Structure 1
Amino acid sequence: MDQSRVKGRIPELDFLRGLALILMMFHHTIADLYDIYSRQFVAFQHSFWFYELGRPIVLTVFLTVSGTSSRFSRNSMKRGIRMVLFSIAATALTIFVDGFAKTGIIYFNVIHVVALSTVLYALFEKLAIKKQWIPDRRSEDENRDYKPHLFAGFLIVTGVFLVFLGPLTAPLIPD
């Protein structure tokens, strides 16, 4: 048997996580080179193909891998709360740095999305286990009649609702 499968790792998920991380580091590096140091050779980051096509693909892969990994976490709530605390600290740091460098404050970014989504997923997972839509990973009972399609449907409907809710909040969020 494949050694990576024995350890409980999913190589495809690890590959996508690594790819998303490398692409995100690339994006942030060229953004800093252009925005902070005014290097023109990375001006392509504002082009249509990069900003409107490439960036959403990287974000989609990153958020999909993050969401998929939540199901494999032993305690999604604990992990989510740690991420929320980290995102609050990141916002506090940008407020502090903006006080003397005027670099801008990050109120809500990808790390905030992942953190809050992880907490919401943990709550939805508890509900799904209680309603017996999905099995409890700690339980040995495999003979129950679970309805995983209800849990997936619930998450999809919630996601679609939030996608349509996003543009409605645009006037409320400062630029």
Structure 2
Amino acid sequence: MKSNQRIWEIDFARGVAILLMIAFHLAFDLAEFYQQPITYKSGVIYYTGKAAAILFILLAGISSTFSSSNLLRGCKLILWGVIIWGVVGIAIPGSNIIYGILHFLGSCIILQHLLKLNRLNTPALLLTANLSIMLGIIFSRINMPNNILAPLGLTNANFFAVDYYPLFPWLGIFLLGLALGKLLYAQPHRISGAGRYNDPISFLGRHSLTVYLLHQPVILSLLFLLQQLKKC
């Protein structure tokens, strides 16, 4: 979408999601790489990370209702997901990114394009979203003999991944985003309220993929630099 056609409130919400994600990953890095007594697997920090993911997924669904390049967008996200999987796997052995957020978002966007899900009316989307979430809950209670079907949410008891968003139940959140997009943007309009105060956050939202790809190297580099300065 061209800059003069962008919807500021979506960029702003995506920018908020970026800030939540950075906060979560900062806590994760401090705990995992610098042995700081920070709990990120539960409590406020855990839900900060999940809130970021849910917001990203909802916004991806909303954006898919008016994007004209969903197939290209989806393939691009999956490609970047594969690159990150390879780089992180080499840099941090055992990190286990299995069907991470980029793989998931790319798959959803491609499925939306191929199955023409945006042609479903709002009640049908809401019903399908709830069925997807329920199916994910059922799948999470099934102990599989292997993890071949992990992208669908079917795993065995020993499954572990640091970044894992299976199609079920998370496809339901994406479909809720599609439904929201049809409700909020059935007619072209803008929500009033854009102004200078939200420009920095909206800027992050406009460049969310770039920020996503770069934020961890930047955080880790800064933490390493601070550690070295403390030793001086």
TM-score of the pair, normalised by structure 1: 0.69
Give, in angstroms, the shift of residue 106 of structure 1: 0.7
Cα deviation 1:113-137 (Å, max 9, x = unaligned): 2111111111233x66xxxx4xxxx
**Structure 2 counterparts to residues 95-114 of structure 1, below 5 A:** 95-97=89-91, 101-114=92-105
- Return the alpha-carbon distance in structure 2 between the equivalents of residues 114 and 83 of structure 1: 7
**Structure 2 counterparts to residues 126-165 of structure 1, below 5 A:** 133=119, 150-165=120-135
CA RMSD, Structure 1 to Structure 2 (Å) = 2.4
Whichever residue aligns with residue 36 of structure 1, its letter is F
Give, in angstroms, the shift of residue 44 of structure 1: 4.5
Give, in angstroms, the shift of residue 76 of structure 1: 0.5
Based on CA coordinates, which of the two structures has the bigger radius of gyration? 1
Q: Residue in 2 aligned with 1:86?
A: 80
2:66 pairs with one of 62, 72, 81: 72
Say whether 1:117 aligns with 2:105.
Answer: no
Whichever residue aligns with residue 21 of structure 2, its letter is M
Cα deviation 1:136-166 (Å, max 9, x = unaligned): xxxxxxxxxxxxxx43233323322221222
Decide which structure has greater helix share: 1
Give, in angstroms, the shift of residue 81 of structure 1: 1.4
Whichever residue aligns with residue 16 of structure 2, its letter is L
4+ residue runs of structure 1 moved beyond 4 angstroms? Answer: none
Whichever residue aligns with residue 45 of structure 1, its letter is Y
Show structure 2 runs of 5+ residues with no match. 144-153, 161-232
- Return the alpha-carbon distance in structure 1 between the equivalents of residues 115 and 127 of structure 2: 13
SS of 2:68 mapped into structure 1: coil
Cα deviation 1:16-57 (Å, max 9, x = unaligned): 0111111111111210111111122xx143442332x43332
2:13 pairs with one of 12, 16, 28: 16
Give, in angstroms, the shift of residue 63 of structure 1: 1.2
SS of 2:99 mapped into structure 1: coil
TM-score of the pair, normalised by structure 2: 0.54
- Return the alpha-carbon distance in structure 2 between the equivalents of residues 50 and 32 of structure 1: 12
Q: Residue in 1 aligned with 2:33?
A: 36
Moved more, 10-19 or 157-166: 157-166
Give, in angstroms, the shift of residue 10 of structure 1: 1.3
Q: Residue in 1 aligned with 2:55?
A: 61
Number of residue pairs the alignment of both structures matches: 143
1:48 pairs with one of 43, 46, 49: 43
Identity across the alignment (%):
25
Q: Does the CA contact (< 8 Å) of 2:31 and 2:39 recur in 1?
A: no
Say whether 1:167 aligns with 2:137.
Answer: yes
